[in-house]
Amino acid sequence: MSPTRRPPWILAVLATIGAALFVLPLIGLLGVTPWSDLTSLLTDDVVTDALRLSLVTSIAAAILATVLGVPLAWVLSRIDFRGRSLLRAIVTLPMVLPPVVGGAALLFALGRRGVVGEPLADATGLVLPFSTWGVIIANTFVAMPFLVITVEGAMSSLDGRHEQAAASLGASPLTVFRRVTLPMIGPSLRAGIVLAWARALGEFGATITFAGNLQGRTQTLPLAVFVSLDSNRDAAIAISLMMVVISVAVLVVLGGRWWGRTA
């Protein structure tokens, strides 16, 4: 269906106001950006430490989300079992749960005195809160649902005849999954991984609650913005601009997958 050339005036007005809600903050950010000092601000130790940590933890979280999330998406899309709807709701809960609440829940479960954290620390000496691993766990917790729902949707819409044909030729279920299913959902899988990485890169609430805000160890880019708003406003603006550029680049990459390419 071709787009309407002349929408009703009320829809056009409301759409303009809606678009302004997103455009005006970007204009405001660009208007206060200290362009002449941008390079020095972005090469400051606080920013470089936060950027390095953000890249390491978000990539690690995306990898962990993929390793755990793809099998979970397969189970949710292919296995019919009692409680599947409840499990799906729990898996996607971090998408709507306030991040601070998610961080608190992680602390109660994996903290030094947590249900799992205390025996884990006693057995291995590993303490997750206020550590880089804690950042990775928090990032994975909030990011993996985006990968799971993307991959599950792709698997649910697959034509099962190709998998059935491979199975009839003697391929094991794991071989079918690896050689048939994964290649067929390749675009959705890549989109899910990028979405999970982008969400991990921008995570704030669960990270600061579970892992703290320690420069060089747990202070990621969003946390650096939070601290810099009080101590160095120009640095906060510079970091925010950098994250906007990264986010726009991610959306451009995913645009064709989400809403298709227009002529």
Q: What is the pLDDT along the chain (263 residues), one digit of tens a residue?
A: 556 577 788 988 999 999 999 999 999 999 999 998 888 888 888 889 999 999 999 999 999 999 999 999 999 998 888 999 999 999 999 999 999 999 999 999 999 888 999 998 889 888 899 999 999 999 999 999 999 999 999 998 887 788 888 888 888 888 888 888 889 998 899 989 999 999 999 999 999 999 999 988 999 999 999 988 888 899 999 999 989 988 888 877 776 555 444 43
By CB atoms closer than 10 A (0-12, 13-18, 19+), residue 15 is: exposed
The token pair that represents 99 in the structure block: 């991040």
pLDDT at res. 225 = 92
pLDDT at res. 109 = 94
Decide: helix, strand or coil at residue 249: helix
Distance from C-alpha of 106 to C-alpha of 138, rounded to nearest angstrom: 8
By CB atoms closer than 10 A (0-12, 13-18, 19+), residue 38 is: middle
Distance from C-alpha of 197 to C-alpha of 220, rounded to nearest angstrom: 14
pLDDT at res. 262 = 42
The token pair that represents 78 in the structure block: 């292919």
pLDDT at res. 261 = 46
Distance from C-alpha of 99 to C-alpha of 97, rounded to nearest angstrom: 6
pLDDT at res. 257 = 54
The token pair that represents 45 in the structure block: 């130790």
**What DSSP letter does each residue of 113-179 carry, written as one string?**
TSTTHHHHHHHH----TTSHHHHHHHHHHHHHHHHHHHHHHHHHTS-THHHHHHHHTT--HHHHIII
Give the residue extent of every domain in the chain: 39-256
- pTM of whole model > 0.85? yes
The token pair that represents 220 in the structure block: 């990621």
pLDDT at res. 179 = 86
CATH 1.10.10.10, applies to 39-256: no
pLDDT at res. 2 = 56
